[in-house]
């Protein structure tokens, strides 16, 4: 009898480089994964959204002491059937900062939560395991030889 525990992970772990993009914010740089590519690959693995897999999202806003407002999306993913779910995984984006509204913040927070949830199934594991230069590679390696 074969062990199928890694079947999904192994089938979705390697990313197609054309859907990865290097992003830099000041001294911080990482590899970004195209979210529609992730949805396509989840659909390829499990079937159409709403039938073979899907997600739910509960949202909230929080106001910081300086007046900035953050939007949080708590995303729970299911595959196979709604009872086979896991999460939530929280995505967070600044919604209001210094009199500027980021109208895409709610959508981006959901996308962040969905990306993190899918990573736990193995989607784009090469990125999250540090096989590309990104924030996950920096976080997963010791500094000066120590953790």
Domain count, the chain: 1
Going from the C-alpha of 87 to that of each of 34, 55, 114, 119, the distances in angstroms are: 21, 10, 10, 12
**DSSP notation for 1-36:** ----TTHHHHHH-SPPGGGEEEEEETTEEEEEE-HH
Query: What is the per-residue pLDDT for 58?
Result: 97
CA distance 34 to 19: 5
CA distance 69 to 55: 25
Picking from 33, 44, 28, the residue whose alpha carbon sits closest to that of residue 125 is 33
Name the more confident of 25 and 131.
Answer: 131
pLDDT at 20 over 80: yes
85-106 pLDDT tens trace: 999 999 999 887 777 788 888 9
Note whether residue 78 is domain-resident. Answer: yes
The whole-number average pLDDT for the span 1-14 is 88
What is the separation of C-alpha 84 from the centre of its chain, rounded to a whole number of angstroms?
19
Residues of the domain holding 20: 13-139
pLDDT at 14 over 90: yes
User: What CATH number does residue 108 fall under?
Assistant: 3.30.390.80
Note whether residue 5 is domain-resident. Answer: no
Note whether residue 147 is domain-resident. Answer: no
pLDDT at 134 over 50: no
Note whether residue 60 is domain-resident. Answer: yes
pTM: 0.81
């Amino acid at each position: 009898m074969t062990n199928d525990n890694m079947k999904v992970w192994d089938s979705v772990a390697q990313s197609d480089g054309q859907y990865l993009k290097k992003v830099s914010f000041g001294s911080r740089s990482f590899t970004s994964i195209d979210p529609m590519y992730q949805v396509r690959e989840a659909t390829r693995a499990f079937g159409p959204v709403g039938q073979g897999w899907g997600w739910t999202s509960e949202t909230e806003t929080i106001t910081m002491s300086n007046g900035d407002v953050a939007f949080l999306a708590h995303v729970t993913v299911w595959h196979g059937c709604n009872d086979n779910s896991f999460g939530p995984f929280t995505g967070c984006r600044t919604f209001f900062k210094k009199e500027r509204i980021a109208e895409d913040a709610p959508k981006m927070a959901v996308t962040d939560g969905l990306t993190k949830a899918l990573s736990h199934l193995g989607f784009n594991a090469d990125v999250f395991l540090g096989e590309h230069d990104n924030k996950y590679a920096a976080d997963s390696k010791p500094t000066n030889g120590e953790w």
